[in-house]
Amino acid sequence: MIQKLHDGLNDIPVLDMHTHLIGGRLAARGLHDVLLYHMGVSELYSAGCPNGARLTEYPGWPDEKEAHARIREALPFLPLVKNTHISWGARIILRDLYGWTEPVTMDNWQRLDALIRERAEDRAWHREILDRVGIRRSCTELARRGNSEDDDRLQYALESAMFARCQWGEFDTALYELERFWGQPLGSPTPIGKGRRPPAAKTIRTLADVHAAMEHYLNAIPYGRVISTATSLSTQFDYRLVSDAEMETALKRRDRAGAVERDTYASYILEAFLAGLEQHGDAIVFQFAIGFEPLPFETGSFLSQRALLQLAEIIARHPRLHFQAFVASRHANQTLCTIAREVQNLSLVGFWWHNFYPDIIRSVMTERLDMLPLNRQIGFFSDAYCIEWAYAKIILVRKQLATVLAAKIAQGQYTLEDALAVARATLFDTPRTLLKMTPY
């Protein structure tokens, strides 16, 4: 039965509704883009690799010196992570797409790196990779559109200011993220864990500044060219409705802000943003990530149950705006399912970051299929920075989906036809209807 399901799932088209692909540069630029995907970097760092930071990211690129140094640094630790799910994904990429089945070693890595670099500019090859696994459209950041070379395969999300994402050791992140784009074109958010931040072009000092900066931000969103936001909601915040007077008082304390001021800034600015965005609720979906919190290099999977209840209140307060959650915490899934059963403007999406592991994927799939209507759940997104990882991740997700559906068939809950219809709904139909994704 599992093999029948595998065969059937391979015929179902897929819409990949969240990636970080770069227009004109869809594929890996070298071995570093496969082995040192940020999830792999975290595993190597845990194994003892001395560097746990991400490589230089878009709009910059790791030059050959940086890429090769990081590969050499990581190679001694590859055998220690061979057991992991991400390592399995990397081996699928190297085997299926580059015909490479050897262990990657100090003696051979340069040959493999050259193989990958040889195909990096082959646009026909890029499309072939997507077609092999039936990915019919991908959504990426608008800031990564390039020169529109791949608009036939890409749609776009606004991944810009992260008003409600915590940064390690900061208490005014919400203000900084807003003032970065005050009077400026919208661009990518501040990366996680990048240390000292560059000064913003303007500084928010008063409540009038907050309103002016938010008005600019909302007016700068290219409604109609983006289908969604892509942002984060930290559950370290104590979300509440903040009065103008409370916000004014908190702004005066910015130079000595602590957790109370941090929560005040985030609550006020998030509410102002959602109120403005709701006026365009027919044109854009508010996608947000939850269940990951900052650590010095990356993030860990933890969250506050109190904030989940506050999240339900926020969603219910904006009924004309659709909310979609990427969840990075296994135990939050049931809570969010119960919220999505009671508020019609919330849907749940995929298996994100700290949830992208087989046992968790199967658990989340089973829970959502049993608790939520098909039009309130989307079964896949890759979060890929190159199409090779989109390729590997849909293969890995299909393997888990086949196992989950086979169990439901075995207990008499679904027929084979039911199971394949469910899969098509979550992989293709629901992202097409909720997000207005358009397959090529």
> pLDDT for 98-147, tens place per residue?
999 999 999 999 999 999 999 999 999 999 999 999 999 999 999 999 99
The predicted model gives 393-399 an average pLDDT of: 98
pLDDT for res 311: 96
Query: Angle CA(363)–CA(236)–CA(42) in degrees, nearest 5?
Result: 60
The predicted model gives 144-168 an average pLDDT of: 95
Identity of the amino acid at 183:
G
Bridge partners, residue 135, by sequence: 14
pLDDT for res 196: 76
d(CA 54, CA 298): 9
The predicted model gives 139-160 an average pLDDT of: 96
Burial track 258-273 (b if 16+ CB lie within 10 A, e otherwise): eeebbbbbbbbbbbbb
Give the alpha-carbon dihedral of 167, 289, 350, 386, to 10 degrees.
-50
The predicted model gives 8-22 an average pLDDT of: 97
Query: Which stretch of DSSP H or E encloses residue 306?
Result: helix 305-317
* 22 in Cβ contact with 144 (< 8 Å): yes
Residue 132: DSSP 8-state: H
Structure-block tokens of residue 267: 């609550």
Position 2 confidence tier, pLDDT thresholds 50, 70, 90: confident
d(CA 81, CA 132): 27
Position 369 confidence tier, pLDDT thresholds 50, 70, 90: very high
pLDDT for res 103: 97
pLDDT for res 50: 95
Query: pLDDT tens-digit profile of 328-343?
Result: 999 899 999 999 999 9
* Contacts (Cβ under 8 Å, ≥6 apart) of 31: 67, 71, 104, 109, 112, 113, 116
> Does residue 59 have a cis peptide bond before it, meaning omega lies within 30 degrees of 0?
yes
pLDDT for res 60: 86
Position 191 confidence tier, pLDDT thresholds 50, 70, 90: confident
Position 194 confidence tier, pLDDT thresholds 50, 70, 90: low
Query: pLDDT tens-digit profile of 85-97?
Result: 999 999 999 999 9
d(CA 70, CA 77): 12
Please choose, from the candidates 125, 139, 121, 96, the residue with its C-alpha nearest in 3D space to the C-alpha of residue 29.
121
Please choose, from the candidates 270, 59, 51, the residue with its C-alpha nearest in 3D space to the C-alpha of residue 165.
270
Q: How many residues does the chain have?
A: 440
Structure-block tokens of residue 128: 């072939």
* pLDDT score of 35 more than 70: yes
Phi, psi of 36 (to 5 degrees): -110, 30
d(CA 353, CA 299): 10
Identity of the amino acid at 186:
L
Count of alpha carbons within 13 Å of 431, Cβ hemisphere only? 28
Residue 72 CB neighbours (<10 A): 12
d(CA 370, CA 182): 45
Position 414 confidence tier, pLDDT thresholds 50, 70, 90: very high
pLDDT for res 429: 98
Mean pLDDT (the chain) is 95
Q: State the pTM of this model.
A: 0.95
Structure-block tokens of residue 270: 């998030």
Please choose, from the candidates 181, 179, 177, the residue with its C-alpha nearest in 3D space to the C-alpha of residue 203.
179
* pLDDT score of 178 more than 70: yes
Angle, in degrees to the nearest 10, between helices 358-371 and 387-410: 60
Query: pLDDT tens-digit profile of 228-261?
Result: 999 999 999 999 999 999 999 999 999 999 999 9
* pLDDT score of 195 more than 70: no
d(CA 7, CA 15): 18
